[in-house]
């Protein structure tokens, strides 16, 4: 089932100060001709994508359009069958998420890769635990639990989540929305080039969603590139600089939220019109 938020008149938002993003240089991340099949099912049928520093690129599309497959191919969770990936213009081949992470790409997957039985701080530092200083850390590999909890607390607070009391609390005791907040806090704390968020507000209330959107803007203003996958059109129109529309495993074009309305976005998403047809309608009017 597709959960589309009702498009409103606010869909056509005039941003007072359109942000200037330099797209003349080399994209931070670039994909060309990505193909990924699962047996007979085509996940991606040749998708191109360009992502620049200091921008939020939203990815929208119906269920099964290939959004998650696309970002999994960009971040090492899946290895594409065909296609090229470039980071700062240099060809890369991520074999696992850790490879992308080491290159500065942090991802919150739709399936939320948190480990329920572990506590919040440990989840935040998964695969990058902080060792204690001196021989206790270097020789005995002892973890700096206190330090990790302190940093976890800062990351979660920065996200404005007040309802999480104790960083030593197991993630399985958190609500769905709080878990999502932990996953977003982790990505925001460790992403250095690119942060990718697959439906980060799906389980969140209004206030918490607003905080995640604020975090996205903060990362973008710090010069990172953000990819946001969302079914929530108002959220997309609020924070995106460009909108990649994914349809039936292919890219159906890139919308400009300052030029295109939410209903127009839905029209392209469902295939009722192409972006060129929208432009044609405008020219006729």
The only residue of 19, 38, 126, 222 in contact with ligand ATP, by rule CB under 6 A = 38
**Euclidean distance between CA atoms 177 and 172, whole angstroms:** 12
Q: How far is the CB of 224 from ligand ATP (least distance, A)?
A: 22
The only residue of 67, 149, 186, 235 in contact with ligand ATP, by rule CB under 6 A = 67
**Euclidean distance between CA atoms 246 and 255, whole angstroms:** 11
Binding segment for ligand ATP (CB under 6 A), chosen from 35-43, 80-88, 90-98, 161-169, is: 35-43
| CB closer to ligand ATP out of 56 and 59 | 59
The only residue of 63, 90, 91, 117 in contact with ligand ATP, by rule CB under 6 A = 63
The only residue of 10, 18, 41, 126 in contact with ligand ATP, by rule CB under 6 A = 41
**Euclidean distance between CA atoms 156 and 167, whole angstroms:** 9
Q: What share of the chain is helix, strand, coil (3-state, %, to 5)?
A: 35, 20, 40
Helix (H) or strand (E) holding 282: helix 275-284
Give DSSP secondary structure letters for 106-155: EEE-TT----TTSBHHHHHTTTSPPBPSSHHHHTT--B-HHHHHHHHHHH
Q: How far is the CB of 155 from ligand ATP (least distance, A)?
A: 26
Q: Residues 13 to 72: which contact Mg ion by CB under 5 A?
A: 67-68
Question: Residue 48 in contact with residue 32, Cβ under 8 Å?
Answer: yes
Give the binding site for ligand ATP (CB under 6 A): 38, 41, 43, 61, 63-69, 110
Give the binding site for Mg ion (CB under 5 A): 67-68, 110
């Amino acid at each position: 089932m597709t959960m589309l938020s009702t498009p409103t008149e606010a869909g056509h938002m005039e941003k007072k100060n359109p942000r200037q993003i330099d797209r003349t240089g080399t994209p931070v991340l670039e994909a060309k001709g990505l193909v990924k099949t699962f047996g007979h099912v085509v996940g991606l049928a040749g998708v191109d994508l360009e992502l620049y520093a200091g921008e939020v690129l939203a990815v929208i599309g119906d269920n099964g359009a290939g959004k998650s497959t696309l970002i999994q191919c960009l971040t090492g969770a899946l290895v594409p069958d065909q296609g090229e990936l470039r980071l700062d213009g240099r060809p890369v081949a991520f074999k696992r998420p850790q490879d992308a992470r080491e290159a500065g790409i942090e991802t919150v997957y739709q399936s939320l890769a948190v480990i329920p039985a572990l506590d919040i701080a440990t989840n935040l530092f998964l695969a990058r635990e902080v060792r204690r200083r001196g021989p206790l850390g270097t020789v005995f590999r002892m973890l700096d639990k206190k330090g990790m909890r302190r940093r976890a607390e800062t990351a979660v607070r920065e996200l404005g989540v007040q309802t999480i009391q104790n960083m030593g609390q197991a993630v399985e005791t958190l609500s769905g929305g709080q878990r999502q907040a932990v996953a977003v806090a982790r990505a925001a704390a460790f992403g250095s080039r690119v942060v990718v968020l697959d439906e980060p507000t799906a389980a969140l209330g209004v206030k918490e969603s607003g905080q995640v959107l604020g975090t996205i803007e903060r990362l973008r203003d710090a010069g990172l590139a953000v990819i946001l996958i969302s079914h929530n059109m108002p959220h997309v129109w609020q924070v995106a600089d460009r909108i990649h529309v994914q349809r039936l495993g292919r890219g159906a074009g890139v919308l400009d939220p300052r030029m295109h309305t939410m209903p127009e976005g839905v029209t392209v998403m469902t295939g009722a019109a192409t972006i060129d047809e929208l432009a044609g309608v405008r020219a006729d009017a």
